[in-house]
Structure 1
């Protein structure tokens, strides 16, 4: 199983000036670098592609869904911008040969409200309409969309595996699957291995994060059970560490990151890699 690390571990937003983290990831031993696309204009994409190829680093692509990138928003111009962002990231993923583009595709991170059922259903309908369009472009490009449930403190729309399955199955496209982040699952699922079993072949990407988003292996997650559940469903995707070593103000607010999660980003990346390699690849 390939082990990966997100650019979020070191920097936000990722830019051409941050390409040194690619060499860091390679030196530690990672197979995959996950590129977080906060602002595509900050990145020299041809140079990034060449650098990753030269380092023999595979790529996955993840999204950053701010309030202006919300395909379920009541304002049509924001929904349109959200869809445009998803399509842009699909095209980036295709160019970088990433098999997936993942994230909370359905809404903005930090959008948390108690709303009437009629409003909730309308927002779901807007989301479905845009996901149908996005999956058509995903199919054309050969990149799978990976929809990620987030915990209740970051979204009010899709918190659980059951909710993700319901939305994905309603779209009904083989180009829309599910990404699982074990940090969020620790909050929302009663049993993470059981939720993995329920996902089956819908699961195309795993962000292997500790219960506090710190270094994997230092908290209380049932990593042995997670490994057994992934083996049981024949999971062959990547395991990527995604945490936030130097979040922007917007990201810190959305993800509620108020304190350092390790002594340093380099330490977290190194010790996290060692733990995941030992646990999942031996």
Structure 2
């Protein structure tokens, strides 16, 4: 693990400059070394100021997003695909300008529950658009990571196997996978096996409980997850993600189906998550060392 981070939505809905700066400060206070922001529109935020704040606090910024339907690059509508590519290019530039190092999330389709199967033409459109975006991202020094999410938030990439096929078809070594335990526990037959299958193609990893709340309070069997991450030598960022309507706005609550809150106070949640992840990682390293010696 390179850095342990936290999603800014634990701290703020992200609509204001002050909220994002507060999220950076709170993350640093809790000992997190990276933070995840949602899409940063340059006309709404002072990216230079956020970059300076990030450097002062030694908290690295990453950005994730999902595409709206009118900018869906997996569409068969050329106008929607073109608009989506433009949005992705703008997002890459915003990540660069804020001093960020990665752009992730649902970059390959709209973030929505589809009412249709994906099409072969839509898949190809998405592959080509992501390949183009990867070139822009590589030139900007920004990692491009595609988040695999559950069936209710996209119809295109739900599993590691699908993600590996997709990034292979882009022909780009700059595109990696963004795995998330919350989504994996719905879509993968075996979380640890999926992590091992992805191997060095994992560029970013989300830790989230099955109920979006406190780690350990859901149904995920965490030891095999951490064992697999240690086994493959995962050395990139691990970020805790959890949502509550006490913090995030109605739009995100609807998109992610946050109908009930598993927490309302963010400080104890953040403290517990950091302790939980560090403990589980250390235990996995000890098991790995013991098994290696044996």
- TM-score, normalisation: structure 2: 0.89
Alignment check: 8 A CA contact 2:11 2:26 kept: no
Please state whether the residue corresponding to 1:112 is helix, strand or coil.
coil
Cα 1:65/1:74, change in 2 over 3 Å: same
Alpha-carbon distance, 1:173 to partner? 0.5
- Aligned counterpart, 2:256: 255
Deviates more, 1:96-105 or 1:125-134: 96-105
Deviations, residues 22-71 of structure 1 (Å, cap 9, x unaligned): 11111111111112115443221011011111111122221243323321
Task: Report the alpha carbon displacement of residue 206 of structure 1 after superposing the two structures with TM.
Answer: 0.2
Partner residue in 1 for 2:101:
99
**Is residue 2:134 matched to residue 1:135?**
yes
| Number of aligned positions between the proteins | 279
For 2:71 and 2:237, the matched residues in 1 are separated by 26
Instruction: State the partner residue of 1:34.
Output: 36
1:178 aligns with 2:177: yes
TM-superposition CA deviations, 1:174-211 (whole Å, max 9, x none) = 11110001000000001101000000110010011111
Structure 1 139/179 Cα, relative in aligned 2: closer, same or farther at 3 Å? same
Higher normalized contact order (CA 8 Å, seq sep 6+, divided by chain length) = 1
Q: C-alpha separation between the residues in 2 aligned to 1:41 and 1:269?
A: 30
Alpha-carbon distance in structure 2 between the residues aligned to 1:73 and 1:41: 27
Contact 2:66 2:107 survives alignment (8 Å): no
After TM superposition, give the deviation of residue 14 of structure 1 in Å.
4.1
Does the CA-based 8 Å contact 1:14-1:37 persist in structure 2?
no
Correspondence list, 1:236-255, <5 A:
236-245=235-244, 246-255=247-256
Secondary structure (helix, strand or coil) at the match of 1:271 reads helix
Q: Superposition pairs for residues 104-253 of structure 1, below 5 Å?
A: 104-115=106-117, 120-245=119-244, 246-253=247-254
Q: Which portions of structure 1, spanning 4 or more consecutive aligned residues, are displaced by more than 6 angstroms? A: none
SS at match of 2:23: helix
Distance 1:30 1:281 in 2: 17
* CA RMSD, Structure 1 to Structure 2 (Å): 1.7
- Say if 2:9 is the partner of 1:17: no
Unmatched segments (≥5 aa) in structure 2:
284-294
CA distance in 2, matches of 1:45, 1:175: 24
Contact 2:40–2:94 (CA under 8 A) maintained in structure 1 = no
Structure 2 distance, partners of 1:70, 1:242, is 24
Task: Please list every run of 5 or more consecutive structure 1 residues that lacks an aligned counterpart in the other structure.
Answer: none
Task: Give the equivalent residue in structure 1 for 2:291.
Answer: none
Contact persistence 1:66–1:108 (CA under 8 A): yes
Contact 2:180 2:208 in 1 (8 A): yes
Of the three residues 58, 61, 64, the one matched with 1:62 is 64
Using the alignment, how far apart are the partners of 1:100 and 1:77 within structure 2? 26
SS at match of 1:184: helix
Most deviating of 100-109 and 76-85: 76-85
